[in-house]
Amino acid sequence: MKTLKIEGIGIKNNQTLETSKNSTLMTRIPDRLDSSTIRGKATNVPFMPGGMEDDIKERQNDVDEEENFDWEEFKKEIERSGLKTIAPGLDRGLMVDGIKRKNEFELFDEIVNEEFDENNNEKEKDSNVQDENGTSEEIDSFVQNVELMQSNKENKNERQNWAHMIDVTTEFINFNELVPELAHQFPFELDTFQKHAVYHLEKNESVFVAAHTSAGKTVVADYAIALAMKHMTKCIYTSPIKALSNQKYRDFKETFEDVGLLTGDVQIKPEAACLVMTTEILRSMLYRGADLIRDVEFVIFDEVHYVNDAERGVVWEEVIIMLPSHVNLILLSATVPNTFEFANWVGRTKQKDIYVISTLKRPVPLEHYLYAQGQLHKIVDSNRTFQPRGYKEASEIKKKKDDRFGKVSWNGISMLLKKKNLLPCVMFTFSKKRCEENADSLGNMDLNTSTEKSAVHIFVEKSFQRLKGTDRELPQIQRMRDLLSRGIAVHHGGLLPIVKECVEILFQRGLVKILFATETFAMGVNMPARTVVYTSIRKHDGTGFRDLLPGEYTQMSGRAGRRGLDATGTVIIACGDQVPFENTLRQMILGLPTRLESQFRLTYNMMLCLLRIESLRVEDMIKKSFSENSAQLALPEQHNELKKGAEKLENMDSLSCGICNIDIETLYEYNTLALNNMHEILAALLSRKGINWFISTGRVIIINNALFRNCPAVVFKINSKQGAKTTFTCLAIKESRADRLSGELLPAPISYICIPEQSKLTFEVLNDVSYMEIVQVTSEKLAIEFDVNSPRVSPRDLNETAINLLTLVNKNRSGFRDNQIDKTFIEVKEKDMQRKVLLKKMKDLKCMACPDLNEHYGKFHEQKSLAVQVAELQNKLSEKNLTLLPDFESRIKVLKHLQYIDDQSTVQLKGKVACEINTTDELITTELIFDNLLGDYEPAEIIALLSCMVFQEKSSDEPPNLNPKLSNGKKMIVETATRLVNLQNDFGIPIVLDDVLTNLNFGLVEVVYEWARGMSFKDIMGLTNVLEGSIVRCIVRLDETCRELRSAARIVGDTNLYKKMEEASIAIKRDICFAASLYF
C-alpha cells in the first residue's frame, strides 16, 4: 500500500481504500451513519493519537516507500483530485520564503510549480500591470507572506516545557480588545482567571484550570461548549462518575439547547454539539474508532484530580494519550501542588502547548471552627491564619470530661446552626450507616415552613410517580419522604438513584436545610451550603483508618459559602471524645493538597486493544504515560550526551602497542574484579561491629582515586562508624611533578604502586576517604608519634610521617602483604581468596612486560569507560528502560499461552473477545465463554453468576443460600480464577490468589437471580442487607455486561449465548432499577 502524507493529508493510489478497518488517518472513508458512528465498532481502528506521529514515522521505512513510489501516478492523482494552488479570485497563492525542500515535499512543489508557471505564463503581462497598480499588495493583505518551517522532530523532542503558567494576580486589562465578541454572554463580570481561559480557548489552545470548589471553573466549560457550537464542531464533557454526568447534563441543558448524554444504559441526542459522558465511555469510543471523534474540537476533563484514583485513574491517562491531535483539552481540577508538572506531561504527550491557569483565591473565604460542648471555637480565620487561642479554649473545655458531652449531640449542633443562621448545612459522615443514624437522631426536628413542606411534597410525589406498584412502598422511599418534609436528608451511595436525585435537586432549591452526606457529595455540580460540618476527620480508605488528607478536606470544605449570599463560609469540626492534635489540624486545613500521581498500569484489555492495531504499540502507551514523565523529560539531554560520547569514542585512537594488545583487556577484566572483591570485603567488614582490628591508626593502605592513583597512605583515624558510610582520615604520599597537568589522573593496574622519589615527595592529609577508594589494606603499621585527634598537627610531624611512610614503602617495593582476615568471616575470606587468585593471574599476563603499561592501561580504561557510558545511555534511551516493560513482557507470555495472540503478537479470536469485556474480568469471562462453561446455564443464572465480578462492596451478610446449579457455577468461576492466577504467577506476574478470590463477591448472586426471574424489588430486599442503591448500581452495570457479552457472542458466532444475554438484559432491565432519571 503506497501512501504520501502531506500536511496530514493522506493521498493513496486506487489499490486500497482508506477505511475505518485499515487506517488511522482522519481522511479515511467515514462509516455509514448508524449507532457505530457514535460508539464505534470493535473492528474499527482508532484515529491516530496526537503526539505519536513522530514515534510511528521512526518505525516506517520511508526510503523503500520513496524508491517504489509511482510519481507519474501521483501527478495524475493530483490532477484528478482537483487540488488547487491558487485561491478563487486571486492570481497567485502563498509566497513561500526560505523553504528547505527535500524528498516528496520537493517533488510535490515541483509538480505544483509546473502548473503554476503555465498559468502565469499566460497571465504574465496582466500580472505585471496589476503589480504596477498595487493590486499585488491587496493580494498580500489576504494571503500573507509566510515562511514554512520544515518539521524539526529533533527540536520538538528537545523541548522541555510545553506548559506555560499564566499570571492571574493582575487584571486582564485588554481582554475586551482581544476578545471583542464572546461566543457566550454571561450575566456577570468574568474573574481574571476565567478571562485568561476564555482568551486561550479563542486562540484554539488547550488549558489546565486549577481552582477551589465553587470558584467558577464551570464557566470555562460553558464557554468551550458555546465556542464549539459557534464553530459548528462538537464538545465532549467527561466526568468521573455516571451520577455527575446526569447532573451536568441537566445543568448544561438549562444553558444550551443542543446537549446530549451518553452512558452505559442511556443515549440521549447523540448527534448534539455537546455530549456529556463518563471517561470510560470516551475511552471505548477512542479505541473503537468512533467517527464522531472527527468533529470534536474540545474535550473537557472535569475533576482531573480523580487521576489519583487507584482503580480508575489509569482510564484518564489512556484517554488523554489516545485523543487525536486536532482535539483541544480543557482540564478542570481542584488546586494541586504539581499542576505545571501534570500540564507539562499532557503537553509533551500531545505535542501542544498547555496554558496553566491556577488560582488559590476563593470567591467566599472560609472560617474553620471546633465544636466542643455546645460552643464554637475559631481555629483558622478567613485569611488562613491559625488561631491558637481558639484551639486552646476547645482543648481546655474537653479536658473537663463532662459526660453529657462525651458524644456529639447532632440535635444540639443543629439547633446551634439554626440559631446562628448557619443553615443550610452539609454534615460529612464517612459511613453510610452512620449517615442514617445521625439523621434519625434528629428525631422530630422540623426545619421547613408550611410553604416549603408543600413544595417538597409536590416535588417528591411527582418524582416518585415514575415508580411502579410496590416500588413506591419501599422503606427507603417512605423514610425519605418524612425526612425531606422536615428539611433533613441523607446522601450516599446506598440510596436509590431517584432518591439521591430528589435530595440533590431539593438541596439546590434550598428545601433541604441539613444534609448528612458521604464524601461523594463533594464531587459534583455546584451545590454550595452556608456551612460544612465534619462529624469526624478520620476515614477508612479500604486498608485502614487515617486522618483526612489536605486535598480531601479542601474539596469537601469547598461546599461551604454561597457566592453572592455569604460573606464567609463556615467549616466546623465536631469534637467527639477528644480534640484532634493541633499539628493534625494545621496540616489538614493549611497543608498542601495531594500531588497528582500516575496510577497507570497495564491491563489485558488495554494491551489487546492496542495489539490489534498495527501502527500502535503498547510500548508507546507506556512511554507516554504520566508515570514515565520524569524519564522521558531526561531523554533530550541524554540524546545529546550519547551523541557527544559516541563521537568522542569514534575519534579516540586505538591502542597500537603490540605487547599490550595481546591481553590488556584480560588485565582490565581481572583488575576490575579484584577491585570489586576488595570493596565487597571492606563493605562486609564495616557492616559488622569493630573494624579497628583490620583498619586502625597507623595502618598502611593503598588508595586509588582521581588524584591519588595507587598511592601509599597511613590511617590517622576512623571518622565515623556508620557501616558503609564510614570514612577515614589518612596521610597519602605521591610524587610532585611540575610537568604533570592538573586535574584527574588516569588509573593504573592495582599491581602497580606509586613510589615517589624522596626529592619529589609530596603529601596531603585526606579527611574523608571512603572504603571505595581503598585498593589494599596491608599488614604493615606505622608508629604515629603525635595525637591524631588534635585539631592542630604540626607540619613537622606530618612531614616526618610522610618520610617514614616512604621509607617503609621502599622496603616493600616488590609489594605489600595483605592484612590477614579472621577465619571466622567465612564469606569475606572466600572473597579474599578470589582476589588473590586474580592478582596472581595478572602477573602472568604478557602485557605486564610492557614498559609503558601504566600509560597504555590508562588510555584503555578511558576508552572502556566511555564505551560503558555510551552503552548505559543507549539502554536508558531504549524501551528496555521502561518501568513497566517487565510486566508487559510477562503479560505477553500469558496472552500467548492462552492463545489470545499468536507468536507474532497478532490478536486472535479469544483476544478479540477479551477486547469487548470492560465491566468484568476480561480473562475470567473470556475463558468461561471459550470453555463453554456458560452453555448449560439459563439467562438468569448466567447474569447472577457474573454479578460476582461486578458487585465490589463489602457485605455483612452470611454467604447466600444458592441452589445446586448456582453453587456449581460459583465453583466453576473460582476454579477458572485460580487457574489464571497460578498461570500468571508462573510467568512472573505477582498476583495474590486470596486478593482475587476476595474480589469475587458472590453476595448478590441470589438477589440478581431472583430479580432476573421477576421478583419485585421490595421482595428481593428481604434476601440481603445490602443497601438499595448498591443493588441497583450492580444490576445497571450487569446490563452493560450483557451488552458486552452479546458483542463477544457475535464475534465468536455463538447464537445461543447471544440470545441468552439478550433475554437476561430484558429480564433485569425493568422497574425501579431503570427508572428514568429526574435530570432527563
- Mind spelling out the 3-state secondary structure of 669-723? HHHHHHHHHHHHHHHHHHCCCCCCCCCCCCEEEEECCCCCCCEEEEEEEECCCCH
pTM score above 0.85: no
pLDDT number for residue 266? 85
CA distance 433 to 442: 15
Strands 375-380 and 366-372: antiparallel
Computed over every residue of the chain, the mean pLDDT equals 85
Residue 895 domain flag: no
For residue 508, which of 482, 534, 489, 480 has the smallest C-alpha distance?
489
* Within-domain flag for 292: yes
Query: Are 132 and 191 found together in one domain?
Result: no
Give tens-digit pLDDT for 289-300. 999 999 999 999
Answer whether residue 12 is part of any domain. yes
Separation CA 296–CA 238 (nearest Å): 13
Q: Are 547 and 637 found together in one domain?
A: no
711-718 and 699-703 as β-strands: parallel, antiparallel, unpaired? antiparallel
How far is the C-alpha of 886 from the C-alpha of 259, rounded, in Å?
A: 45
User: Helix crossing, 1028-1052 with 497-508: angle to 10°?
Assistant: 120
- What does the alpha-carbon distance between residue 1075 and residue 481 come to, in Å, rounded to a whole number? 18
Domain boundary among 865, 882, 899: 882
Residue 608 within any structural domain of the chain:
no
At 406, the pLDDT band (50, 70, 90 cuts) reads low
136 plus 20 within the same structural domain? yes
Task: Tell me the pairing of strands 711-718 and 727-735.
Answer: antiparallel
Q: Are residues 271 and 187 in the same domain?
A: yes
Tell me if residue 753 falls in helix, strand or coil. Answer: coil
Specify the range with the lowest mean pLDDT, choosing from 1-15, 159-173, 476-490, 725-739: 1-15
Predicted pLDDT of residue 129:
39
> Looking at 87-96, 150-159, 903-912, 991-1000, which range is the least confident one?
150-159
Give the list of residues 6+ apart from residue 736 with CB closer than 8 angstroms, or none.
756, 760, 761, 762
Domain boundary among 296, 329, 358: 358
Confidence of residue 2 (pLDDT cuts 50, 70, 90): very low
Among 338, 358, 378, identify where a domain stops: 358
Residue 595 lies in a domain: no
CB 491 within 8 A of CB 515: yes
771-780, 861-870, 886-895: which has the highest mean pLDDT? 886-895
| Run of H or E residues at 490 | strand 488-491
The verdict on residue 864 lying in a domain is yes
Claim to verify: residue 545 and residue 465 sit in the same structural domain: yes
pLDDT of residue 474: 93
Per the listing, cell 466549560 goes with 221
Specify the DSSP class assigned to residue 568. S
Residue 692 pLDDT more than 80? no
Query: Are the beta carbons of 267 and 302 closer than 8 angstroms?
Result: no
How far, in Å, are 528, 708, 832, 839 from residue 678 at the CA level?
68, 18, 7, 12
Q: Are residues 716 and 812 in the same domain?
A: yes
The C-alpha cell 468551550 sits at 224
Burial annotation 96-119 (CB, 10 A radius, 16+ → b, else e): eeeeeeeebbebbeebbeebeeee
Q: Which amino acid is at 695?
A: I
DSSP designation for 830: H
Is 617 inside any structural domain?
no
Cβ neighbours of residue 740 closer than 8 Å, sequence gap 6 or more: none
For residue 562, what is its C-alpha cell?
454561597
Same domain, 679 and 650: no
Q: Which residue has the cell 585526606?
A: 766
Q: How far is CA 49 from CA 22, 92, 239, 318, 617, in A?
A: 15, 35, 21, 10, 11
Angle, helices 1028-1052/922-930, rounded to nearest 10 degrees: 50
Range of the domain at 922: 916-1074
Asked if 576 and 490 sit in the same domain, the reply is: yes
Helices marked H in 709-767: none
- What pLDDT, on a 0 to 100 scale, did the predictor assign at position 112? 46
Question: Which DSSP letter does residue 49 get?
Answer: B
Are residues 727 and 642 both part of a single domain? no
Contact status, residue 579 vs residue 370, Cβ threshold 8 Å: yes
Residue 678 shares a structural domain with residue 813? yes
- The answer to whether residue 618 sits within a structural domain is no
Strand segments, DSSP code E, in 507-562 are 514-517, 531-534, 538-540, 545-547
Grid cell digits, residue 172: 486582564
One domain, residues 489 and 386: yes
Q: Phi/psi of residue 252, each to 5°?
A: -65, -30
User: What is the separation, in whole angstroms, between the first and last Cα of the chain?
Assistant: 48
DSSP 136: H
Looking up residue 581, the CATH number of its domain turns out to be 3.40.50.300
DSSP code of 1011?
A: H
pLDDT on residue 13:
39
Co-location of 113 and 43 in the same domain: yes
**What per-residue confidence (pLDDT) applies to 133?**
45
Q: What is the CATH number of the domain that holds 922?
A: 1.10.3380.30
Distance separating alpha carbons of residues 555 and 520, to the nearest angstrom: 10
Q: Work out how many domains the chain is built from and give that number.
A: 6
